Amino acid sequence: MPAEFWASDHMRDALGSWHMGRVIYAFRTHPTHQTSITQLDVANWLDITQATLSRIETGDAPEVMSKLIRWATILRIPEELLWFRLPRRDTVDEVDRQRFLRVAAATAAAVVTPGSMLRLLEETRATPIPTRVGAVEIAQIRDAAQLFARWDATYGGALVRDVVATQLRIAEGYLAAQCAPCDRADLYLAVGSLAHTAAFMAFDACAHNDAERMFGLARDCAKEVDAVHLHAKVLSSMTRHAIWTGKNYYGLAHIQEAFTLAPRLTATERAMLYTAEARVRAKLGDVQAVLTAVGRADEQFANSSPTNDPVWMRYYDRAQHAGDTGHALFDIAVKGSFSGEARDRLSTAVRGHTDVAARSRTMSSIKLASLVMATGDADEARSIGSAALVRANTLHSRRAAQDVLELHRYARRAGVDLTVAPA
């Protein structure tokens, strides 16, 4: 916070009381905030429950010095304003490492301006690598990976990619820290999950070298502790990335490796792998193999039981399955095979995706418009395409932007000008 924040009467009065609870209350209700910061948010920053924070704010002044030091350090209260002394920097490593990803997890959903992103980036870069890692840090990494994956699916990866990449570099350093044997597998799983999230965000931003490195880290983490579910997810994403970058045979190798894990996977995960295989087979022009893979994906998805799936598979619902198989069929449909089936599946995806999956909905909309441009009625294609462009404008996704360019190419071939609004 700026100096004037701490110099205000609001904060000076609280600090003068020598009561950390009153200081925290004054901090979160400071007039400079547009709205007061909730008890729950601050409790998350301090790694305590909301009920505990409520007692701290309204009860007797806390006197345990280690807690006072920890809370003052997390809130970055200037030392000269405190009624106690902070220890030397090298003794507060335990405090500082608690900041890792907590601030990101608490604020990422509100990261919507360049200024707020820069503040978050500075906070993350200032976090030192700890010498010891335990269950708390592992949970923070895991929660942040899930949060940023949700952000990515809704808004695209470009906006906060640098923040996540910086956090991944710190998380990667955790692998060299001391860790109890019972926590080791969970640590690698958490870092691998964050690496996968960061990799897919880099992929979505078309930062392909970064994506390859991060996917490699995610795969290494999964293999290190035999985390087959994460391993399969990473290989599926690597297949999609290879397809996007024109490395179709690499994609085929990735998906064949993934199928060696199939007996240990859930039906939903096997459906995901078959849709990835269908997509790479389509790029290779093998129509029969595409249809076989789509059929097997449908069979597996029919047996899907979401309660058995790992948390990162929650996205793979009926709309996602329809969209992924529709994307696979698109490449053979524009050449005259099974265009009706491709259209039905892409339409199902567009109707079924919620705002949480805004990017998937938009990309299926763009593919649907391109398909209709190539195989259907130009006026209908113009209407679908115009709606898809409106959706694309809300995203920060280079992949979606490239799909838009493809849509314009199909539109030109069909004699349609998408810059002109439909009548």
Whether 415 and 378 have beta carbons less than 8 Å apart is answered as: yes
State how far the Cα of 335 lies from the Cα of 374, in Å rounded to an integer.
9
Cα→Cα distances 413→83, 191, 362, Å: 74, 46, 22
* DSSP 3-state of 178: strand
The topology under which CATH files domain 1-86 is: 434 Repressor (Amino-terminal Domain) (1.10.260)
State how far the Cα of 148 lies from the Cα of 161, in Å rounded to an integer.
9
Q: Which of residues 387 and 187 earns the better pLDDT score?
A: 187
The model scores a pTM over 0.85: no
Statement: residue 142 has pLDDT above 90: no
The amino acid sitting at 229 is H
What residues contact 393, with CB distance under 8 A and at least 6 apart?
A: none
Q: Averaging pLDDT over each range in 50-59, 91-100, 257-266, which range is the top one? A: 257-266
**Residue 331 in tokens:** 């490449």
Half-sphere exposure of 199 (CA within 13 A, CB side): 25
Bridge partners of residue 133, in order along the sequence? 179
Statement: residue 416 has pLDDT above 80: yes
Average pLDDT along the chain:
85
Ranking 18-27, 108-117, 288-297, 303-312 by mean pLDDT, the lowest is 108-117
pLDDT at residue 88, rounded to an integer: 53
Statement: residue 106 has pLDDT above 50: no
State how far the Cα of 201 lies from the Cα of 148, in Å rounded to an integer.
9
Nearest to 387 by CA among 413, 360, 422, 356: 422
Domain range list for the chain:
1-86, 97-226, 327-423
What pLDDT band is residue 323 in, cutting at 50, 70 and 90?
A: very high
State how far the Cα of 164 lies from the Cα of 173, in Å rounded to an integer.
14
pLDDT at residue 162, rounded to an integer: 75
pLDDT at residue 420, rounded to an integer: 56
Statement: residue 112 has pLDDT above 50: no
Other CB atoms within a 10 A radius of the CB of residue 127 amount to: 20
The amino acid sitting at 297 is A
Bridge partners of residue 132, in order along the sequence? 178
Q: Sign of dihedral through CA atoms 409, 413, 417, 418? A: negative
**Residue 6 in tokens:** 């701490």
Calculate the dihedral angle through the C-alpha atoms of 152, 156, 160, 164, rounding to the nearest 10 degrees: 40
Nearest to 345 by CA among 376, 372, 324, 374: 324
Q: Exposed, middle or buried by CB within 10 Å (0-12, 13-18, 19+), for 92?
A: middle
pLDDT at residue 222, rounded to an integer: 97
State how far the Cα of 338 lies from the Cα of 284, in Å rounded to an integer.
16
Chain-centroid distance, C-alpha 17: 42
State how far the Cα of 236 lies from the Cα of 379, in Å rounded to an integer.
36
Supply the DSSP string of 82-134, one letter for each residue: SSSPPPPGGG-HHHHHTTTTHHHHHHGGG--SHHHHHHHHHHHHTPPPPSEE-
State how far the Cα of 388 lies from the Cα of 398, in Å rounded to an integer.
15
Mean of pLDDT values over 179-197: 93
Q: Which of residues 420 and 109 earns the better pLDDT score?
A: 420
Statement: residue 109 has pLDDT above 60: no
